[in-house]
Every structure is written in C-alpha cells, then in structure tokens.
Amino acid sequence: MLTVRRAQRRFGRRVIFTDLDLDVPVGARVFLGGSNGSGKTTLLRCLSGTLTLSAGQATVGGHPVGSLPARRLTGVCLAPEQGLYEKLSARENVALVARLRLPRQAVRPAVARVEAELDLTGYATVPVERCSAGMRARVSIARALVAEPALLLLDEPGRSLDEKSRLLLWQALDRRPDLTCLIASHLADDRSRCQSALTLPTVR
C-alpha cells in the first residue's frame, strides 16, 4: 500500500531524514518512533502530500504521493487539535470532508458512523471553538476516518486523548482490518498495538 524509496527531506542545509526505505502492506500498522526533532511529523507531511520530498520517491497504492489518486486514498490527522473550522460544529467539520470524498447519498451514514464510533454524537452540534482539546482531537480523527481511506497517517493521536478516547480510536481501527496505518507516537500502548516499528534517527 505504501512504498518509500531512498527518501530524503531537508530544509536548506539541515537534513531531517535521508535514505529512508519503507514498505507497508495493506492492513499493516507501523509505529513511527524517534526523539523530538527526528522528523516524524515531517515524514508524515511528505507522505500526505503537504510537503515534497527533497529526494527519493514514495507511492500510495502505486500512485505518487501528492497526486490526486494518492490523496483520495489517504486519511490524515497530523495536528489533532488544529486545522478545524472553528465556527462550524463538530458534525459540520466531519461532513465537510465526507462531501468532498464520498457520493452524496453516502455522506450522512458515514458521518453518523464515525460520530458513534468516537462518541461524538452528544457534541455533534457544538461549535468546535467551544470544544476541549480532547474533543477537537476526536473530531480531527473522525474527519480522517469518515471517507474510509486505505491509508491513515496519525501524528501523536493520543496526545490530547484520555484513556477512554484512546480506546475508542483503537476500536475504530480494529473495525477496519484492511486499513493501513502509520502512527507517530511516544506512547508504549500505541507501540504495542502495531505490528512493526520504524525509529527515525536524529540526523546531525
């Protein structure tokens, strides 16, 4: 599902990561580890298409990252408490993504499903600007899942979630055995739920 070959990203003279190879099959969960500043978030941004690689290549389902087909296959939650439309409700934020990616008749049931999975139903009409950090994180995860992506990129998804909410997230992932996940985290529990791990070294 996800293939990375000799990937490098630099900012000016600073090399963030280099010579990175990765093969992630359908349905696999990969834990992305490393110290702060090792490039975990940067790698996820490159794989989502919001940043370009400085060298090397990466594909999602055989499509170059950043291409429209690759973007359609990818669900992204890179800043769980950010990137939401503050004046819109939790439901409207999720539905916005659903309308962009799903047939019209599929939008309402898809939104209802992720609301139920992540226990958002009671807060669905609350404007995001009035939501707690944990609730905002759940809304962001719901947006990433609502269109049933083939690849899910998560950056520190448990950072603002309590134990119950983290369990809801993992239960939602367990219901999608064919969903390929790349999860950047510092939590041992997240590591234990993944089949493999990639630790990014800090490049000097």
Per-residue pLDDT of the chain (204 residues; tens, 9 = 90+): 999 999 999 999 999 999 999 999 999 999 999 888 889 999 999 999 999 999 999 999 999 999 999 999 999 988 766 789 999 999 999 999 999 999 999 999 999 999 999 999 888 999 999 999 889 999 999 999 999 999 999 999 888 899 999 999 999 999 999 999 999 999 999 999 999 999 998 765
Task: Decide if 29 contacts 173 (C-beta within 8 A).
Answer: yes
* Residue 81: predicted pLDDT: 64
Using the 8-state DSSP alphabet, how is residue 79 labeled? S
Torsion 63-95-168-161 (CA) sign: positive
* Residue 46: predicted pLDDT: 96
* Residue 80: predicted pLDDT: 62
Provide the terminal-to-terminal Cα distance of the chain, rounded to the nearest Å: 31
204 found inside a domain: no
Looking at the structure of the chain, the number of domains it has is 1
Q: What is the CATH number of the domain that holds 49?
A: 3.40.50.300
Reported pTM: 0.92
Using the 8-state DSSP alphabet, how is residue 19 labeled? E
* Residue 78: predicted pLDDT: 81
Q: At 6, which helix (H) or strand (E)?
A: strand 2-11
How would you classify residue 83: left for phi > 0, otherwise alpha for psi between -120 and 50, otherwise beta?
Answer: left
Domain, as residue range, for 43: 2-199
